[in-house]
Structure 1
């Protein structure tokens, strides 16, 4: 398969790339480095990425920002960071990317445990993740050409434990192998409209 992995240089992305490139042609898309540049908050950047890459069999997104801060400190513009980037960025990857996928291709988006189990300072990130979950379930009912759309929702991954452990008291870090298998299930399985939860 020919696969583009958006955010393939990140903590999770590197492991996903390493797995899929064993048996597939994998292209890394990112804002500053990789095989092709993309900023998912910019629809023209998304269009340019797909024009550069051409036809694909699978799209995986492990990218997107959202502002973490106390609820009483978040401004409307702070919320728009997550809405433009992680939410609409991934929605636009589906809207535009469907036209570049071969029949029966797949699109895998990424969310996280905050959609189901929020912690403090995550009203924006939790809202965005929940919105993506609802979008995935709805778009699967309408998307054409046998294309499947799923989301992988992981808990705090072990490779990010030291950075985020204070935000997630009592949460067990998720082994990277389990996280990888969530993406494998989305890409290589037959599920559509699924939220693939990789929680403790």
Structure 2
């Protein structure tokens, strides 16, 4: 398969790419690195990426994050980057990319454990992850030509523990291989409309 991985140079994306590359043709895209460049906050940039590639058999997105901060002082402005990027960016990848995805192809989005187990100061991320999960459930009913869509919902991965562990006191980290397996299941398996939870 020809697989596009948006965010393929990130902590999770590069491990997913390494797992899939022995069996598939991998195209890495990112804002600042990769074979192709794309800013997922821009629908125009997403359209340009797919036009350049013409067709893909699978699209994985591991890009995007959200705001962590005090709820009492959180504003719309704080939330905008995450909403425009991780949420609407992934939504637009599907809405635009569905016309370039081959018959029987798949989308794999990334949400996260915060949708059900939000950390302190993580209300924005909880909202974004929950919305992604709901979008996947709805879109799975609407995609045509046997196209599939799933979301991988990782917990705190071991590879991110040093950088982000302070935001998740008491959380048990998830081995990266378990997270990678979630993406492999979504791409190479037959599941559709699933939130693949990779939690402790």
Q: Does TM, normalized by the shorter one, top 0.5? A: yes
Q: Could you list the runs of 5+ residues in structure 2 that have no partner in the other structure?
A: none
Partners of 1:70 and 1:148 lie apart in 2 by 37
Q: Equivalent residue for 1:89?
A: 89
Structure 1: 4+ residue segments shifted above 2 A: none
Q: What is the rounded CA distance, in whole Å, between the counterparts of 1:12 and 1:28 in structure 2?
A: 13
Q: 1:152-191 counterparts in 2 under 5 A?
A: 152-191=152-191
**Distance apart, 1:113 and its partner CA:** 0.6
Q: CA deviation at 1:81?
A: 1.6
Question: CA deviation digits over 1:87-145, x for unaligned, max 9?
Answer: 11000000011111110000000011101100111111110000011110011111111
Q: What corresponds to 1:137 in structure 2?
A: 137
Name the residue aligned to 1:19. 19
Aligned position for 1:5? 5
Q: TM-score, normalised by structure 2?
A: 0.98
For residue 65 of structure 1, report the CA deviation from its aligned partner: 2.6
Q: Distance in 2 between matches of 1:130 and 1:52?
A: 31
Q: Distance in 2 between matches of 1:128 and 1:103?
A: 29
TM-score normalised by length of structure 1: 0.98
What pairs up with 1:24-173 in 2 under 5 angstroms?
A: 24-173=24-173
Deviations 1:20-49, CA, capped at 9 Å, x for gaps: 111100000000111100010000000011
The farther-off stretch of 149-158 and 169-178 is 169-178
Count, aligned residues:
200
Q: Distance in 2 between matches of 1:86 and 1:173?
A: 22
